Structure 1
Amino acid sequence: MSDADAAGLPDFRRLPVREAIRWLAEHGEPEDPRPDIDTASLERRFPHLRGIETVEHTVDGAQGGVPVRLYRRPGAEARVALVWVHGGGFIGGHLDMPESNWVARELAARGIPVLAVDYTKCLGQAHFPAPSDDVLVAWRSAPALLGLPADRLVLGGASAGGNLAVGVAARVRDGAEGPLPGGLLAVYPALHANSANPGVPLDPASPHAQLALNFAGSVDALSDPHAFPGEGSGAGYPPALVVVCERDALRPSGESFAGSVRAAGGTVELHVEPGAAHGHIDQPGDAGALRTLDVVSDWLHARQG
């Protein structure tokens, strides 16, 4: 029996997308049934995470307040920091999920301050650009909250959060108000309308297609390079690290984007995590997740100059 079954929760991985959206819109985000992923449990499991300071903030967004959380290791004098956006298929996820909270604590423990960002979920009437707008306003606030100039900040995210991070960088590149980040981090990102097969028409019946259309809000928006930045030019991005998983159906999206940036003359590093599946950094202590965090940490530290 899975943790979800034991807690009496629906298995969102097996529910049709429309049913999952209806359930979440009606009931809200359920509590994660895993018993050892809360902060106290993480600190017991990983003593090096003890003492990380967190501060809750809210920045003003078009849809209301956007929750953000700042993580720091006391006494650490960093010259680079990360603005980090969790995933969740654009319909779920939050600041306490391991992909946000554990990842941020691990990187803060390694001397990299992190500003974790939440955003509007696409449930019911909300679609692009609502989540992107939230990440954009959080990004504009990041230099003041982190105390570093934008060229010392990396904007990054995982899965849907990777889409939003890269999409905000594309929007700023193309004229939206705000500074271009000093670097870009995308972990198993969904950057194309068809992230499993970039360039191939979507199968409307597939879960990937339904999630993409639910986020985009219309068929026309599926080709919007700010909604799905893999559909646009790879030119003009800051230096980037793209992490993909060997056993992830969305691996082609990250690889295609990295190739597009490279072909446009940009600087991009592609890391393939062997044996890993989509969502592996939402599993605290997973061997592949720890390797990925080592890669990310090393890349971020190298950006300190």
Structure 2
Amino acid sequence: MSWQQLHLQCQKDKVELAEALFYDLGAVSILLEDAGDEPLFEPMPNEEPLWGNVVVTAIFDTNSDDSFDGTDFEGLANEIAAKVDAERHWTTRLDDKDWTKEWMTYYKPIKCAGNLWIVPEWLDAPEPNATNLILDPGLAFGTGYHATTRLCLDWLSKQDLTDKTVIDYGCGSGILGVAALLLGAKQVLAVDIDPQAVLATTQNAKLNGVADKIQVFLPEEFAKHQAKTGILADTITANILAKPLIGFAPYFAKLIKTDGKIVLAGLITSQIDEVLEAYTPYFTMDTPHNYADKEDHHWHRLSGTRIG
């Protein structure tokens, strides 16, 4: 059994029309991919940026829908390509698979600095005696595969977190907060604007047996909790984006103890100076760090110590 795919390459202002035309024909799913080499960094919630040049792929279920019997898909591709001024178009067949499990094949255990491993929930730990963080990637950001996450994990693995209170701001999947607990932290306060992240963090904390040491909040809930308890962090992790990091600098300074440590990620090379400028009034900042010998060298990590 197989599925029929129609592909076309067009400018982003024609994508919406292409999608509508494909859906009118009975497409069950549409995939958008970069047609060039134009990076899109993690968007803010409700933002849906597109590349300038896009490959639009429409998938048709020819297995269960008899109305497609005898359909000239090449002809359909030609018609839609003409309507959206496509630069090129083509058709392919997609073999049927168990798609509920297929995505799992792309995840493998990852070794971070020190003795910390990130292990997908359905796989065995390569080193059972290591510090193994069991992760269900789910729908929230933070699988350990992205350079920004690995940079933070490497930093955490080198800290003395024993009996420390950690605030993980922008927690995503909860990977940094859970790692901090496995590395000895006493408690973690995890915060994210995405309800899916709150759920993912809670689930991953349970997978690792640390649910009793972590509290997960939406930002408004956290602000109320912090104002009520007056709790301050020994360590803050924030793997988000440059613009919110800059805005959060004075707020984070109020959330952390004197001599407390902060680690920031989600930064590309051109953003470092502006973020450093925002944090140096409050923190003694370390030299920026990246993976200089890897393809992800454009991602950087900043860390620092709260000034008294």
TM bucket, shorter chain:
0.3 to 0.5
- What TM-score results when the alignment is normalised by the length of structure 2? 0.33
Larger Rg: 2
- Bigger share in strand: 2
